[in-house]
Structure 1
Amino acid sequence: MKRLPLAAALAAFFILLVWSVSVRQAVLFLVGLGLGAALAGARFGFTTGWRQLVEQRDPRGVFGQLLLLALAAALAMPLLGAFPELHAALGPPSISLLVGAFVFGLCMQIADGCGSGTLYKAGLGVPLNMGILPLFALGSFLGSVHIDKWLALGQIKPVGLVDAWGTGGALSATLLALAAVGVAVRLWVGPGKPLWDRRWVWGAVVLAGLATLNLVIAGQPWGVVYGFGLWAAKGVQSLGLFDAAGNAFWSQAGNAQRLGQSVLLDVTSITNIGLLGGALWVSARKPADAKPLNATQWAIGLAAGFVMGYSSRLAFGCNVGAMFSGISTGSLHGWIWVPMAFAGTLIGLRVRRRFAF
Structure 2
Amino acid sequence: MILTGLLCGLLLGFVMQRGRFCITGAFRDLYVTKSNKMFIALLIAISVQSVGFFALKEFGVLSVEPAENLAFFAVVIGAFLFGIGIVLAGGCATGTWYRAGEGLIGSWVALFTYMLLSAMMRTGPLGSFNSTLRDINIEHSTIYGSFGISPWWLVALLSAVTLFYVFKQLRKPKLKIAALKPKKTGLSHILFEKRWDPFVTAVLVGLIALAAWPLSVATGREFGLGITGPSANIMQYLITGDDKFINWGVFLVLGIFLGSFIAAKASNEFRFRVPDVTTILRSAVGGVLMGIGATLAGGCSIGNGLVETAFFSWQGWLSLPIMIAGTWVAAYFTIIRPQRLTTA
TM-score normalized by the length of structure 1: 0.76
How far is 1:236 from its partner?
3.6
Is 1:230 aligned to 2:233, yes or no? yes
Aligned to 2:78: 100
Superposition map of 1:8-157 within 5 A: 24-83=1-60, 85-87=62-64, 90=67, 92-144=70-122, 145=127, 146-152=129-135, 154-157=136-139
How far is 1:341 from its partner?
0.8
How far is 1:352 from its partner?
2.3
Q: C-alpha distance in 2, partners of 1:143/1:25?
A: 25
How far is 1:350 from its partner?
2.1
Q: C-alpha distance in 1, partners of 2:120/2:65?
A: 25
2:299 alignment partner, SS class: coil
> Which of 203, 206, 209 in structure 2 is aligned with 1:208?
206
Q: Root-mean-square deviation (CA), in Å?
A: 2.8
Q: C-alpha distance in 2, partners of 1:337/1:355?
A: 28
> Which of 146, 152, 159 in structure 2 is aligned with 1:168?
152
Q: C-alpha distance in 2, partners of 1:229/1:194?
A: 42
Q: C-alpha distance in 1, partners of 2:9/2:320?
A: 24
Q: AA paired with 1:314?
A: L
Q: C-alpha distance in 2, partners of 1:96/1:68?
A: 26
How far is 1:150 from its partner?
1.1
Q: C-alpha distance in 2, partners of 1:299/1:60?
A: 30
How far is 1:271 from its partner?
0.8
Superposition map of 1:177-326 within 5 A: 182=165, 199-219=197-217, 220-238=223-241, 260-261=243-244, 263=246, 266-285=247-266, 286-287=268-269, 293-326=275-308
Q: C-alpha distance in 1, partners of 2:245/2:309?
A: 30
Deviation by residue 1:23-56 (Cα, 9 ceiling, x = unmatched): x122221111000000101010000122222211
Aligned to 1:331: 313
Q: C-alpha distance in 2, partners of 1:262/1:233?
A: 7
Deviation by residue 1:251-289 (Cα, 9 ceiling, x = unmatched): xxxxxxxx54261xx111111111111001011123257
Q: C-alpha distance in 1, partners of 2:330/2:215?
A: 36
Could you tell me which runs of 5 or more consecutive residues in structure 1 were left unpaired when the two chains were aligned: 1-23, 239-258
2:283 alignment partner, SS class: helix
Q: AA paired with 2:206?
A: A
Q: C-alpha distance in 2, partners of 1:210/1:324?
A: 12
Q: C-alpha distance in 2, partners of 1:62/1:104?
A: 17
Q: Compare 50-59 and 170-179 and name the one that shifted more.
A: 170-179
Is 1:348 aligned to 2:325, yes or no? no
How far is 1:169 from its partner?
2.9
User: Is the helix fraction higher in 1 or 2?
Assistant: 1
> Which of 159, 169, 179 in structure 1 is aligned with 2:141?
159
Contact 1:110–1:304 under 8 Å retained in 2: yes
Q: Structure 1 334/35 Cα, relative in aligned 2: closer, same or farther at 3 Å?
A: same
Q: Which runs of 4+ in 1 moved over 4 A?
A: 88-91, 161-164, 176-180, 191-195, 288-292
Deviation by residue 1:87-121 (Cα, 9 ceiling, x = unmatched): 25657241000000011111111111111011101
Q: Structure 1 93/170 Cα, relative in aligned 2: closer, same or farther at 3 Å?
A: farther
How far is 1:127 from its partner?
1.2
TM-score normalized by the length of structure 2: 0.79
2:3 alignment partner, SS class: helix
How far is 1:167 from its partner?
3.8
Q: AA paired with 2:294?
A: S
